[in-house]
């Protein structure tokens, strides 16, 4: 078994990374290995030196890769070589001396409350299985702030109706409980009735909450298409994807007085620093209020 496959097995079975993350790691490592082979005639990843990695970064920049993409690819190498180092395969980690290009911090893109009111109050979804499912997907994403992958992995048993919470398995297999209101709980119950009628539940062993029209577990592209389709009807914002609803969830909570630490816990962020990006929009609103309300605000 080659080193790349050993590493992929490690993150799949021991670290239990999400499938889309494993796919990204696989692509990055194979791309780097191809570069080494073409540029340096090297097949052995254990002999890589820092200049080789810097050369790859330069090629990525010449190929017009943005800084965040380069960061992700080098992060993959860092994880890979850390794995080799921890297993005694290499002594020195060639990524330790590599300086990454500066990332431009982008503000989280979100959908405003009026547009979301229009989405849930005026857009026609249809009363068949697909329409009810699509509306609930949007509702769950916005009401809980969960990630696309977390939504896909939801099972019926993760919904605790009596406690009004949803159990979510986040990054690093960390479980968190997200509260829901009665309105959303009842929407899920109504959806499950349609779901059970639409599929032969006694014969299916698929416990995923959200299914395709063929009874299979939803896949990432399908969730993206659903969200993009309906958000396109209420906003011209550039980002009309599931993560925009996660950003909206956090931004609206903060704007309405929620504690930043509580938002961190709801989002499943490992550090408060990741949650602090939402304070920009809150500060902008605060400054606007100050200018309007304070005698010396202008």
* Active-site annotation holder among 17, 25, 142, 278: 278
* Residue 15 is among the residues annotated as catalytic for this protein: no
195 in catalytic set: no
CA distances from 203 to 193, 207, 215 (A): 16, 11, 11
The distance from CA 138 to its chain's CA centroid, rounded to whole angstroms, is 15
φ, ψ (nearest 5 deg) of residue 160: -105, 95
Based on the residue annotation, tell me whether 12 is a catalytic residue of this protein.
no
Ranges of H-type helices in 41-126? 50-62, 67-86, 113-122
Residue of 171, 176, 224, 280 marked active site: 171
CA distances from 152 to 74, 127, 163, 167, 297 (A): 28, 22, 22, 13, 47
Q: Which of 12, 176, 269, 280 is catalytic?
A: 269
Is 147 marked active-site? yes
- From CA 57, how far away is CA 32, in angstroms rounded? 10
Say which of 12, 71, 243, 280 is annotated catalytic: 243
Q: Which of 73, 135, 148, 246 is catalytic?
A: 246
Residue 278 annotated to the active site: yes
Strand order in the sheet with 165-169: 159-160, 165-169, 175-179
Does the annotation mark 294 as catalytic? Answer: no
How far from 3 is each of 7, 16, 30, 58, 235, CA to CA, in Å? 6, 18, 11, 25, 46
Give yes or no for a contact between 204 and 214, defined as CB atoms under 8 angstroms apart.
no
**At how many degrees (to 10) do helices 19-40 and 67-86 cross?**
90
Which of 135, 147, 195, 247 is labelled catalytic?
A: 147
Which residues are the active-site residues? Answer: 147, 171, 243, 246, 269, 278
């Amino acid at each position: 078994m080659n080193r790349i496959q050993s590493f992929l097995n490690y993150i799949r079975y021991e670290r239990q990374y999400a499938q889309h993350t494993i796919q990204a790691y696989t692509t990055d490592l194979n791309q780097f290995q191809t570069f080494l082979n073409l540029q340096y005639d090297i097949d052995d990843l254990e002999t890589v030196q820092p200049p080789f990695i810097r050369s790859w970064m330069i090629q990525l920049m010449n190929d017009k890769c943005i800084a965040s993409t380069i960061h992700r690819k080098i992060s993959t190498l860092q994880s890979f070589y850390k794995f080799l180092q921890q297993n005694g395969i290499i002594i020195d980690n060639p990524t330790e001396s590599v300086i990454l290009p500066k990332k431009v911090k982008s503000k989280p893109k979100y959908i405003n409350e009026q547009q979301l009111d229009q989405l849930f109050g005026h857009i026609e979804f249809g009363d068949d299985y697909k329409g009810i499912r699509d509306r609930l997907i949007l509702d769950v994403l916005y009401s809980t702030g969960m990630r696309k992958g977390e939504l896909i992995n939801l099972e019926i048993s993760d919904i605790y109706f009596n406690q009004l919470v949803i159990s979510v398995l986040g990054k690093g297999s960390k479980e968190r409980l997200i509260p829901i209101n009665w309105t959303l709980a009842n929407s899920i119950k109504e959806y499950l009735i349609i779901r059970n009628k639409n599929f032969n539940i006694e014969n299916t062993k698929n416990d995923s909450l959200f299914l395709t029209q063929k009874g299979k577990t939803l896949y990432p592209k399908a969730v993206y298409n659903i969200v993009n389709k309906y958000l396109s009807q209420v906003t011209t914002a550039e980002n009309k994807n599931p993560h925009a609803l996660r950003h909206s969830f956090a931004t609206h909570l903060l704007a309405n007085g929620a504690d930043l630490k509580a938002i961190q816990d709801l989002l499943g962020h490992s550090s408060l620093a990741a949650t602090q990006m939402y304070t920009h929009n809150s500060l902008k609103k605060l400054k606007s209020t100050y200018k309007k309300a304070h005698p010396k605000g202008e």
